[in-house]
Structure 1
Amino acid sequence: MADKAKEAFKQRIREMTRRSGGRSLPEIVERLRAYLPGWKACFQLAQTPRVFRELDEWIRHRLRAVQLKHWRRGTTMYRELKAMGASETDARQVAANSRRGWRNSRFLLNRAMPVAYFDRLGVPRLS
């Protein structure tokens, strides 16, 4: 897959998942549901499963960051993560670094918001 096509895809996803857009996570998922299958159909002949898997991970990473931005405060993050079933230490670490949304959305949130969480929301997969 060409780097130019990947960058255009990422830019389009960045526009859809802006953290300051004022849209809820289900609204963002609806937009992704309209865009991702068409993009996948264009590039389905490309024999690049690793690239699709990496793009899937990147999209979920962005969605986790959006969710953290919506929660805004450490106390809200802690409460919501505990309600989602996160451990005490994970919820506390994420809440303590509440202003580091992109960094927090990488490792600790993978346990509280796994791939199955996004499957339930209806986020389409590329891989």
Structure 2
Amino acid sequence: MKSKIKEYTSRSNGWGNEYRIDKLKRYIRGWINYFKIADMKTLLKQTDEWMRRRLRMVYWKQWKRIRTKFKMLKQFGINRWKAWEFANTRKSYWRISNSPILNRSLDNKTLNSLGFLFFAEYYEQVCVN
């Protein structure tokens, strides 16, 4: 499962976000519908945390330039000084994806509003019905 998610959330595959969202949705729905009998809530929550981090990493890489990172962080509610400081960091994409500022700007609610579907949420929907 993780290798397939890695493939769909790769930073260098050149896919647009709409295509990425569509591929992930299809994969998650198929996986949950196939394995919905199993009790795997904790596994799905851990996988969701990891997948959200990968998605944050993808967005950070897409923002490429310091000016764009600064603008996007401000747009997501980070104050001006912190956004500028953070946009100029030289840390790796993976390390930044777990930072408090990126977690606050691209939080779970924001990722859901962008159209992403996550395992635990979909599992709850399918198993309740």
Normalising by structure 2, we get a TM-score of: 0.83
- Check the 8 A contact 1:77/1:98 in 2, yes or no: no
Q: How many correspondences in the alignment? A: 119
Tell me the amino acid that sits aligned with residue 52 of structure 1. Answer: L
- How far has the Cα of 1:33 moved from its partner? 1.1
Aligned structure 1 segments of 4 or more residues deviating by more than 4 angstroms: none
Normalising by structure 1, we get a TM-score of: 0.84
Unaligned runs of 5+ in 2: 121-129
Tell me the amino acid that sits aligned with residue 50 of structure 1. Answer: T
The structure-2 alpha-carbon separation of the partners of 1:102 and 1:90, relative to structure 1 and needing over 3 Å to count, comes to farther
- How far has the Cα of 1:96 moved from its partner? 2.1
Q: Does 1:109 align with 2:109?
A: no
Q: Give SS of 1:72's match.
A: coil
RMSD: 1.6
Instruction: State the partner residue of 2:71.
Output: 79
User: Larger relative CO (CA 8 A, sep 6+): 1 or 2?
Assistant: 2
- How far has the Cα of 1:87 moved from its partner? 2.7
Q: Give SS of 2:119's match.
A: coil
- How far has the Cα of 1:43 moved from its partner? 2.0
Instruction: State the partner residue of 1:40.
Output: 32
- Check the 8 A contact 1:65/1:101 in 2, yes or no: yes
Unaligned runs of 5+ in 1: 1-8
Per-residue CA deviation, residues 44-100 of structure 1 (Å, 9 max, x unaligned), is 222221110011111111111011111112221111111121233542343122552
Q: Does 1:69 align with 2:58?
A: no
d(CA) in 2 for partners of 1:50, 1:94: 32
